[in-house]
Amino acid sequence: MKAALLFDLDGTLVDTDHLHLDAFNLLFAEHGFQVDRATYNAKIMGKPNTGIAETLLPHLGRDAALAVLARKEEAYRGMVGDLAPIAGLTDLLDWADAQGIPCGVVTNAPRANAELVLTGLGLTDRFQTLVIGDELAQAKPHPLPYLTGLERLGADAQRSVAFEDSPSGMQAALGAGLTLVGLATSLPAETMQGHGAHVAVSDYRDPRVRELISARLAA
């Protein structure tokens, strides 16, 4: 079976977490509270809206809380302007194409968000699959989204690499048996490694990224 590269979206392909935080606080203000970046990192980043609803809006009940979060997603999409990929990403995708390595996106973001971001980055055609966690029986941190990405690409977990920026996503990738690169866009490299990242980098220009992929290809 072949190798594949599987990428999370927010904080991994593009730095959009600050927009998500602003959108959450816009809606949370209606309910009398705000969250800071530390709370966002601990309780929101990388998690599906069902989990966020249970953690931060339990008093509303599931349906009402999810309705609030749907409005948050609309607010976020309205905030998205010009987007730039994390440094080195496009070069890595070019290199993967030259090596014949298929790439996919595996995210807990709603499909509308993911498609908006990929279109804004001009990267829609660079990925052979887009896996949306909430469209499956289990979202991250369950490994099912990554297992689904591997299955769709016909790839072997032991030869494939995932790229993540959140503990939830890292747990999902490791649970699927993937080698893991942590993107230290929101969390320190030490934290990423503490959650099991094989390497933690600030962006895709770090030579360890291709070295790790090459090592997996040779496995």
Give catalytic residue positions: 8, 10
Quick one: which of 43, 45, 1 has its CA closest to 183?
A: 45
Q: How far apart are CA 95 and CA 93, in angstroms?
A: 5
φ/ψ of 19, rounded to 5, equals -70, -40
Q: How far apart are CA 209 and CA 203, in angstroms?
A: 9
Q: Where are the beta strands (DSSP E) in the chain?
A: 5-7, 103-107, 129-132, 161-164, 179-183, 199-201
Q: Please, where are the H alpha helices in 45-88?
A: 49-56, 62-79
Q: How far apart are CA 84 and CA 61, in angstroms?
A: 37
